């Protein structure tokens, strides 16, 4: 092992990477394509955590027999989801929207991850060629590709509000799902978010009103009560101060606390193809699948956007010859 890894205090767990996939029953057919591609191409995958809505847990668990995959209900990871679901009859606290649930899950899973780094996935991701530990972890650090674009500068503005930090630049975009994240860095972000939530005197403005109300509510609860503990968690903080994105929070925190170079190394190619992913229905018909699955490509993953609701059989028809090899 490279001595720099010891200096950073990192011990690689058998050259494996755990992964996390937030999964709903609606997206299960897409997950089957992802699962098939990972079994074929990603031999260094460790444990894969499947996090499901509580009411779909039993059914999804019954569908996944692969022992490498651990299926858990979302409330076992983020119990606060139950609180906000039960309180949605009140105008100020609503159920956490699905997109933000997925993001909280990708942050919270760090508590369970058993490897130094982990891969974030969604059901609409497909692995396109063999990918190994050393493709994703270099010199003891996770690869990170930074797009020079202002396409999503709002993501960084949102994160600044939550973190009470200023991003170095909004004219860029760090790679998103699928991404390789540091378990330790994510735990440090969790701690920081808790500190911000507890110590900041939030102003009475629209964005912070729910945070102020939530903190006020906890003053009426016994100090050792489970409910008070949950309402004062970073998970509750993120649940009521949307919008934000997990990657905006993660990378701004790392850069502004001078942690980025400890946990990540910038690379010249992203691990997923942005140009050849399917983002719009009209591009699916002309999708160059042969190019996407080429062994000569620089990427390892592609996205077929889930919210497009493409016929899953049509997707299978395009990718089957590359994934079902005898």
What global pTM score does this model have?
Answer: 0.91
Give the burial class of 29: count Cβ atoms within 10 A of its Cβ; 0-12 exposed, 13-18 middle, 19 or more buried.
middle
User: Cβ atoms within 10 A of the Cβ of 250, count?
Assistant: 24
146: Cα within 13 Å, side-chain hemisphere? 14
Asked if residue 2 has pLDDT above 50, the reply is no
Q: Are 109 and 49 in contact (CB under 8 A)?
A: yes
Q: How far apart are CA 252 and CA 247, in angstroms?
A: 8
For 166-222, write each residue's pLDDT tens digit: 887 767 789 899 999 999 999 999 999 999 999 988 887 777 888 998 999 999 999
Where do the domains of the chain lie?
Answer: 3-323
Averaged pLDDT of the chain: 91
**Residue 174: phi, psi to the nearest 5?**
-70, 150
Would you state the structure tokens that stand for residue 267, as one six-digit string?
């690379």
Which residues are bridge partners to 52 per DSSP?
73
Whether the CA torsion 114, 265, 257, 250 is positive or negative: it is: negative
Asked if residue 148 has pLDDT above 50, the reply is yes
Query: What angle, rounded to 10 degrees, do the helices at 98-108 and 183-199 form?
Result: 120
pLDDT of residue 93: 63
Cα-to-chain-centroid distance, residue 167 = 20
Q: How far apart are CA 122 and CA 252, in angstroms?
A: 22
Would you state the structure tokens that stand for residue 275, as one six-digit string?
């140009």
User: Cβ atoms within 10 A of the Cβ of 157, count?
Assistant: 14
Q: How far apart are CA 130 and CA 301, in angstroms?
A: 10
For 303-312, write each residue's pLDDT tens digit: 999 999 899 9
Q: Are 231 and 217 in contact (CB under 8 A)?
A: yes
For 220-249, write each residue's pLDDT tens digit: 999 999 999 999 999 999 999 999 999 999
Q: Are 306 and 27 in contact (CB under 8 A)?
A: yes
Helix, coil or strand: residue 32: helix
Q: How far apart are CA 34 and CA 121, in angstroms?
A: 9
Would you state the structure tokens that stand for residue 61, as one six-digit string?
């668990």
For 133-142, write each residue's pLDDT tens digit: 999 999 999 9
Q: How far apart are CA 117 and CA 146, in angstroms?
A: 18
For 57-115, write each residue's pLDDT tens digit: 999 999 999 999 999 999 999 999 988 876 555 445 667 878 899 999 999 999 999 99
């Amino acid at each position: 092992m490279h001595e720099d890894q010891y200096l950073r205090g990192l011990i690689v767990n058998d050259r494996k990477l755990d992964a996390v996939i937030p999964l709903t029953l609606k997206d299960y057919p897409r997950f089957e394509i992802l699962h098939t591609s990972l079994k074929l191409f990603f031999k260094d995958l460790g444990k894969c955590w499947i996090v499901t809505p509580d009411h779909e847990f039993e059914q999804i668990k019954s569908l996944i027999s692969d022992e490498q995959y651990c299926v858990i209900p979302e409330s076992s990871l983020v119990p606060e989801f139950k609180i906000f679901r039960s309180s949605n009859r009140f105008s100020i606290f609503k159920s956490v929207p699905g997109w933000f649930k997925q993001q909280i899950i990708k942050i919270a899973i760090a508590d369970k991850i058993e490897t130094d780094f982990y891969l974030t996935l969604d059901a609409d991701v497909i692995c396109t060629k063999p990918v190994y530990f050393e493709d994703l972890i270099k010199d003891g650090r996770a690869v990170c590709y930074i797009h020079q674009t202002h396409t999503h500068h709002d993501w960084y503005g949102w994160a600044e509000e939550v973190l009470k930090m200023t991003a170095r630049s909004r004219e860029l975009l760090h790679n998103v799902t699928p991404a390789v994240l540091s378990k330790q860095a994510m735990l440090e972000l969790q701690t920081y978010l808790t500190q911000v939530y507890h110590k900041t005197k939030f102003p009475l403005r629209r964005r912070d009103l729910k945070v102020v109300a939530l903190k006020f509510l906890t003053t009426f609860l016994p100090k050792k009560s489970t409910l008070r503990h949950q309402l004062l968690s970073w998970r509750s903080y993120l649940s009521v101060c949307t919008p934000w994105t997990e990657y905006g929070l993660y990378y701004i925190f790392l850069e502004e606390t001078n942690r980025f170079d400890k946990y990540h190394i910038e690379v010249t190619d992203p691990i997923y193809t942005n140009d050849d992913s399917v983002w719009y229905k009209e591009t699916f018909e002309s999708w160059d699948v042969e190019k996407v699955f080429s062994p000569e490509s620089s990427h390892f993953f592609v996205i077929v956007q889930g919210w497009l609701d493409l016929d899953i059989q049509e997707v299978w028809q395009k990718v089957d010859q590359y994934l079902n090899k005898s």
